[in-house]
C-alpha cells in the first residue's frame, strides 16, 4: 500500500508542476479518455521539455565557445545530471517488474517525473548560461 501512496504523491506533485507550465499538456489531458492516452500526453510533455533542455544545452555550449575547459566541464555536468536523473527515477520505482508493481499508470508517472526533473535542470542551466 505504501508504494501506491508514493506513486500517487509523485503523480500529484508532477502534475501540479507540469500543469502550471504547459497548455499543450492540459489540452491533451482534457481529451484523454484512457490511461494509454494519458500516458501519451505525459510522454509528449516530457519530449517537449526535453527538446527545450537540448536547445538550452546547445546554447550553453555555443556561448562557452572556444573555452575547451568550460565545454568539458559543462559536458561532464550534463552526463552527471543524466546519471542522477536516471538513478533518481530508478530509486522512486525500484521494483524489477515495474508494470506488475505499479500498473498501467507507471509510464505516465515516469514521464511526469522526468518532466519535473528536466524542468528543474532547465532552471539550473539558465542560471549557468548567465555566467557566460
76-80, Cβ contacts within 8 angstroms, sequence gap of 24 or more:
none
pTM: 0.83
Q: Distances in Å between the alpha carbon of 82 and those of 50, 67, 70, 88, 94?
A: 12, 23, 18, 10, 18
pLDDT digits (tens, 9 = 90+) for 78-104: 999 999 999 999 999 999 999 999 999
- Angle, CA 45 vertex, CA 113 and CA 18 arms, to 5°: 60
CB atoms under 10 Å from CB of 74, counted, come to 19
Nearest to 9 by CA among 104, 84, 112: 112
Read off the pLDDT of residues 61-84 as tens digits, 9 standing for 90 and up.
999 999 999 999 999 999 999 999
| For residue 131, pLDDT beyond 60 | yes
16-67 pLDDT, tens digit each: 444 456 999 999 999 999 999 999 999 999 999 999 999 999 999 999 999 9
Structurally, the chain folds into a number of domains equal to 1
pLDDT at res. 7: 45
Between these two residues, 27 and 12, which has the higher pLDDT value? 27
pLDDT in the model for residue 26: 96
User: Which structural domain, as residue segments, surrounds residue 76?
Assistant: 2-130
Cβ contact 112:18 at 8 Å: yes
pLDDT grade, residue 124 (50/70/90)?
Answer: very high
Per-residue pLDDT, 117 = 98
Amino acid at each position: 500500500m505504501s508504494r501506491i501512496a508514493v506513486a500517487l504523491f509523485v503523480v500529484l506533485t508532477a502534475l501540479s508542476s507540469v500543469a502550471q507550465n504547459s497548455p499543450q499538456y492540459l489540452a491533451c489531458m482534457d481529451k484523454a479518455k484512457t490511461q494509454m492516452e494519458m500516458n501519451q500526453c505525459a510522454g509528449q510533455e516530457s519530449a517537449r521539455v526535453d527538446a527545450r533542455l537540448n536547445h538550452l544545452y546547445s546554447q550553453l555550449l555555443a556561448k562557452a565557445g572556444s573555452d575547451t575547459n568550460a565545454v568539458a566541464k559543462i559536458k561532464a555536468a550534463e552526463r552527471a545530471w543524466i546519471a542522477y536523473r536516471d538513478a533518481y527515477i530508478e530509486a522512486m520505482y525500484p521494483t524489477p517488474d515495474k508494470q506488475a508493481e505499479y500498473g498501467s499508470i507507471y509510464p505516465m508517472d515516469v514521464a511526469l517525473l522526468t518532466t519535473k526533473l528536466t524542468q528543474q535542470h532547465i532552471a539550473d542551466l539558465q542560471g549557468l548560461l548567465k555566467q557566460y
